Amino acid sequence: MAPPPSTPSMAPPRLIHSAPGLLDTCSELPPPSAVAEKMSGPVTDTPSAIQICRIMRPDDANVAGNVHGGTILKMIEEAGVIISTRHCNSQNGERCVAALARVERTDFLSPMCIGEVAHVSAEITYTSKHSVEVQVHVMSENILTGTKKLTNKATLWYVPLSLKNVDKVLEVPPIVYTRQELEEEGRKRYEAQKLERMETKWRNGDIVQPVLSPEPNTVSYSQSSLIHLVGPSDCTLHGFVHGGVTMKLMDEVAGIVAARHCKTNIVTASVDAINFHDKIRKGCVITISGRMTFTSNKSMEIEVLVDADPVVDNSQKRYRAASAFFTYVSLNQEGKPLPVPQLVPETEDEKKRFEDGKGRYLQMKAKRQAHTEPQP
């Protein structure tokens, strides 16, 4: 769903931000809607859109110079949390901070490379009583040639948490729409994501178990885990982890799984919905586990699970904090897609996950064909 563009009645973008120590190429550029289909958008008393810009450095990319998907996801979340927190504090009342609850499926439409400038634009497109929908577009700019490309679209959902009690969800100030159908469309998106979040939470009870001496091309051969102690630099001022930090770690683990499976240069192609089931607090030890679930001829689906262990709090047990499916593709030296080794599921659970992954793949393939076919 493309976000609505700004109209003359909407406040212009005011917040311009760039990362410290990096080239500042920001200017008051149009909101995400400038690269989407034209339609009237919501009217608010707070800034309607913000933009974050920074140049991509070598530590943002893999050995082939392609920027990590996790780096882009982290920037997307940073823009989303700024605009949603600002909106949720736009009226007199209890102060709050916006926490990421879900990221809808996002496709990496074009690769971004070292030396290019990322322009991340975010815009609020819907609010419910307790949540904010933010739509984000990412453009890459080659500052030598001036060429710009759309690389990502994403939809994020935030909930406002009280500064006095981060377990308390506050109400969101409403936005006013110029057309009634925009609110109705937003409500449909809200109800759909709410249902999917509940379904995902209940089916994410299993864990990734290590296997000794696994065979090549099996699930066990490429599965990987990363253990991370949550420190102050990972967290908001209120002691829980930034959603963007979690997504970056998830993408890192998924990339390791993909590279182990095909042993070539790999890049993130898309991310299915990322669901944040619970907050991760400072001092927790988190385990990010990834396993291959499905392979097509040229793509790999990796399930990533994030479990949090509150080691300094004996009253709380280990819990599932986030989950998602990442899709990767294998590339040759010219950046062209390569065939990937076919996954060999061994156990009944692995075979079931393979069939589920195949269903998601065919469903998304059908949606893409429907979007590209000429309309009668």
Place of tokens 């990421």: 100
In whole angstroms, how far apart are CA 65 and each of 116, 152, 255? 11, 18, 14
- Examine the residue annotation and report whether 217 is marked as an active-site residue of this protein: no
In terms of DSSP bridges, do strands 16-17 and 49-55 run parallel, antiparallel, or are they unpaired? parallel
Place of tokens 């931000």: 17
CA dihedral 122, 127, 131, 137 (to 10 degrees): -20
- What residue type is 343 in one-letter code? L
In whole angstroms, how far apart are CA 22 and each of 17, 19, 52? 11, 6, 12
In the set 234, 251, 272, 307, the catalytic residue is 251
In the set 62, 142, 204, 217, the catalytic residue is 62
Q: Which residues pair with 159 in a beta bridge?
A: 99
Token duo for residue 336: 């062209």
Beta strands in 56-95 (DSSP E): none
- Examine the residue annotation and report whether 265 is marked as an active-site residue of this protein: no
- What residue type is 334 in one-letter code? E
Catalytic residue IDs: 62, 251
